[in-house]
Amino acid sequence: EPEVTQTPSHQVTQMGQEVILRCVPISNHLYFYWYRQILGQKVEFLVSFYNNEISEKSEIFDDQFSVERPDGSNFTLKIRSTKLEDSAMYFCASSGRRIQETQYFGPGTRLLVL
């Protein structure tokens, strides 16, 4: 069964450093998403991406964040200058050909900013 994969599974970084989180969505999916879950809190939407551009973003997704689909398979989330409060589990998701199709989530990347 196809699945969404994410790398790395864990990332530790110093405050102020840039991080890139990588995702490989399910191959025939057209919609891509990033979510995050701060420890003990709920899963929060960050951004959705379709047709090589951001279709929607939350207020969390400020200028420090960017997304990219550099090739036909990867979908990346970049945090330019990490802050302590960026420490969270980051989930990538993808869905098929219609915006309302079920989103399938990756296993997540645990980011720890020191």
Binding site for other proteins (CB under 8 A): 4, 6, 33, 35, 41-45, 48, 56, 58, 91, 93, 100, 102-108
Query: Which residue's CB is nearer to other proteins, number 104 or number 113?
Result: 104
Q: What does the DSSP 8-state code read for residue 86?
A: G
Q: What's the full length of the chain, in residues?
A: 114
Q: How far is the CB of 88 from other proteins (least distance, A)?
A: 13
Residue 105 beta carbon to other proteins: minimum distance, rounded to whole angstroms: 4
> Largest Cα–Cα distance of the chain, in whole Å?
39
Shortest approach of other proteins to residue 92 CB, angstroms?
A: 8
Q: Count Cβ atoms below 10 Å from residue 41 Cβ, excluding itself.
A: 9
Which CB atom, from 19 or from 93, has the smaller least distance to other proteins? 93
Q: In whole angstroms, what is the distance from residue 65 CA to residue 86 CA?
A: 11
Q: How far is the CB of 64 from other proteins (least distance, A)?
A: 20
Q: What tokens were used for 103?
A: 């989103």
By beta-carbon proximity to other proteins, the closer residue of 3 and 18 is: 3
Query: Exposed, middle or buried: residue 67 (CB in 10 Å: 0-12, 13-18, 19+)?
Result: buried
Measured from the CB atom, the residue of 20 and 43 that comes closer to other proteins is: 43
